[in-house]
Amino acid sequence: MSEIDRQVVKTIVETANDHFFIVGGTGRVLEVSPGAAAVYGMSREALTSSTVQELEASGVLKPSISLEVMRTRKPAQLMQVTGTGRRVIAEAHPVFVDGRLERIVSRSRDLTDLQLLQDEYALLQKRFSEHLKRSQGGPPGDDGALEETFEALQVRSSVMREIALLLKRVAPSDANVLMLGESGVGKTAFARQLHRWSRRGEGPFIEVNCGAIPDNLFESEMFGYQPGAFSGAARQGKAGLLEQAEGGTLFLDEIGELPLLMQTKLLKVIQDGTVTRLGDTRSRRVDFRLVVATNHDLAHRVEEGAFRLDLYYRLNVIPVTLPPLRERREDIPVLVEACLEQLNRRYGRRKLLHGSVWSELMGNDWPGNVRELENWLERAWLSSAGDLIETPTLGEPSSGNLPASRGRASRQAPMPMGDEESLTDYLARAERQVLAALCDTLPSTYAMAKRLGISQPGVVRKLRKHGLRIQRSRG
């Protein structure tokens, strides 16, 4: 390495916001960045006179990521708790020469300040809860507007009102929001309301279901492309969804389904605020508010290696957990009333629910949450001959709506075959019926592929063939 190259490396290490370690193949610490002393509680001189084995044994590195690389001979990423009690995210990469491990380059980022911010928001949420219990409403002078918002969101339960109040308070900021909860609880509706409350409310709201876009199209859809970037590309090129969200909100639903390669690219966009189209050499500035949602346990996905730890902490600035419908049954009446009103307008008739229906509606656990409730009501509406919907016409929810743990068998008879219908037509009709039911109850094409035992691209092709799409209105 030339002297100029040495000076370049030295400048990078000494000026980086991250904390760098350069370790020899046997574990000797060769170089550290200046800021590492404050995080790890040792001077640069002390660190560079030690080995990672000694630092781990003394509790300075808990654990040592360099030792993990030495053990696996592969890049690694993990959480550390330093000797000063700070939490950092570390990643390390091996450097091989002629197959021999010569160096390990690691960098870490202090997450303690981010954790303090999350704790502050948790305290804010607790105070909102206490305020709500005292006042039984929103802030003074804003009761009418808040009640209209609660009505639009179709919530009456105190827990959902607390969540709405929290989102209203954080809406003016640009902090990333992570919405958690089972499929169908209403994450999309709350994301839209957050957008309307924000200073970006007049801008676009771009919704992306990360599980509904095939892997081979994901990058071009998200990042866009230049003319001629690949075979079949539009002649004029195309702006990606990230660019389309300029000045507004980008809502990434089912973020847990995002491929690892795209996770890396998304992290770069979040860090740099720029996006590069496929086939382009220049970056474009993008300015949007990021809101993501998932029904996965992202922390568990990180442990499985399916989700990047650094991206998880970037997204998890303001976590908001929406409880399932079975834990907020007070919301069922307003949801039923709104859905019934919508069905009556859609089909041009005025049907009413029989009083006996309510005991079944309120007693069901609704494993598919709001989405299942709405689908069940629509089946009930369509199956009732008269203008009164009674309990017997509702019947059991179809087995496709229920998890295996509930174990209710379907009571439906086999689909009859038409008099002049060929076997090919009959099977196509049956396939469409099965896919349509799964579109109503499953959150992504990956989930459908697992349920059907076929590939995800195969599911995408079948949905396109039958003109179907996954229902996303209540993510």
Q: Max CA-CA distance within the chain? A: 88
* Per-position DSSP letters for 307-344, written without gaps between them: S-HHHHHHHTTEEEEPPPGGG-GGGHHHHHHHHHHHHH
Mean pLDDT of the chain: 81
Amino acid 164: pLDDT: 87
Burial track 138-172 (b if 16+ CB lie within 10 A, e otherwise): beeeeeeebeebbeebbbbbebbbbbbbbbbbbbe
Give the residue ranges of DSSP H helices in 180-285.
187-197, 215-223, 241-244, 260-272
- Asked if 440 contacts 454 with a C-beta cutoff of 8 angstroms, the reply is no
Amino acid 146: pLDDT: 60
Domains of the chain in sequence order: 3-110 (3.30.450.20), 172-323 (3.40.50.300), 332-408 (1.10.8.60), 420-475 (1.10.10)
The bridge status of strand 388-389 relative to strand 352-353 is parallel
CA distance 390 to 388: 6
The bridge status of strand 100-110 relative to strand 87-97 is antiparallel
Cα distances (Å, whole numbers) of residue 132 to 163, 320, 325: 11, 17, 21
Amino acid 114: pLDDT: 56
Residue 411 CB-density burial (10 A; 0-12 exposed, 13-18 middle, 19+ buried)? exposed
Pick the closest to residue 374 from 337, 323, 339 (CA basis).
339
- Asked if 390 contacts 357 with a C-beta cutoff of 8 angstroms, the reply is yes
Q: Where are the extended beta strands (E) located within 82-236?
A: 87-97, 100-110, 177-180, 205-209, 224-225
Amino acid 286: pLDDT: 93
CA distance 291 to 312: 13
- Residue 318's CB: how many other CB atoms inside 10 A? 22
- Asked if 389 contacts 352 with a C-beta cutoff of 8 angstroms, the reply is yes
Average pLDDT for runs of 10 along the chain of length 475? 71 72 92 79 88 90 90 87 78 91 87 59 59 48 58 80 87 91 91 93 93 83 87 81 95 91 90 90 92 89 83 89 90 89 90 82 88 88 82 44 37 58 75 84 80 77 84 53
Pick the closest to residue 128 from 168, 94, 182, 95 (CA basis).
168
- Residue 213's CB: how many other CB atoms inside 10 A? 22
Amino acid 292: pLDDT: 96
Tens digits of residue pLDDT in 314-366: 898 889 999 999 998 888 988 998 889 999 998 888 888 887 788 788 888 89
